[in-house]
Chain A
Amino acid sequence: MLRDITLGQYYPIDSPIHRLDPRAKILLTVGFIVAVFLVGSLPGYIPIVLFLVLVVRLSRLPVNMMLRSLKPLRILLVFTFVLNMFFGTGERELFRLGFIVVKEDGLMNAVRFSARLIFLVVGSSVLTLTTAPVTLTDGLERLASPLKRIGFPAHEMAMMMTIALRFIPTLTEEADKIMKAQSARGADFSTGNLKARAKAMIPLLVPLFVSAFRRAGDLAMAMEARCYHGGEGRTRLHVLRYRRGDAVAFGAMALLIAVVVLQGRLQ
Chain B
Amino acid sequence: MPITVENLTHTYQQGSPFQATAIRDISLTIRDGEALALIGHTGSGKSTLAQHLNALLTPTSGRVLLDGRDINNREVSKRAVRFEVGLVFQYPEHQLFEETVARDIGFGPRNMGLSEAEVDARVRAAMDMVGLSYETMKDKSPFELSGGQMRRVALAGVLAMRPRILVLDEPTAGLDPRARDYLLGDIARLHSDGTTVVMISHSMDDVARLATRVAVLEQGRLVMEGAPNDVFMQVDRLGAMGLDVPAASRLVHGLRARGIDLPDCCLLDELADLLEKLLKGGTGHAS
Contacts and interface: CB of A to CB of B under 8 A. Distances in A.
A177 B158 CA distance: 15
Interface in A1-28: 3-4, 6, 11-13
A178 B89 CA distance: 9
Interface stretch (A97-105, A204-212, A234-242): A204-212
Given A207-B94, A207-B95, A185 B89 contact: no
Contacts of A207: 94-97
- Most B CB within 10 A of own CB, among A4, A11, A182: A182
Nearest to B16: A6
Interface stretch (B105-113, B171-179, B189-197): B105-113
B13 interface: yes
Interface string A16-42: 000000000000000000000000000
B55 to A, nearest CB: 9
Interface in B38-64: 51, 54, 56
A170 interface: no
B30 interface: no
A85 B280 CA distance: 100
Contact of B158 (A3, A184, A187): A184
Given A187-B107, A207-B95, A12 B17 contact: yes
Contact of A184 (B13, B89, B112): B89
Contacts of B96: 207
B56 A180 contact: yes
Given A185-B108, A207-B94, A13 B87 contact: no
Interface string B81-100: 01100110100101111000
A186 interface: yes
A180 B17 contact: no
Contact of B82 (A4, A184, A206): A184
A210 B97 CA distance: 9
A182 B89 CA distance: 10
Interface string A45-78: 0000000000000000000000000000000000
A89 interface: no
A39 B143 CA distance: 60
Nearest to A6: B16
A31 to B, nearest CB: 29
Contact of A203 (B92, B97, B143): B97
Nearest to B143: A210
Contacts of B12: 3
Contacts of B56: 180, 183-184
Contact of B97 (A4, A12, A206): A206
Interface of B: 12-13, 16-17, 51, 54, 56, 79, 82-83, 86-87, 89, 92, 94-97, 107-108, 111-112, 143, 157-158, 161
Interface of A: 3-4, 6, 11-13, 174, 177-178, 180-188, 202-203, 206-207, 210-211
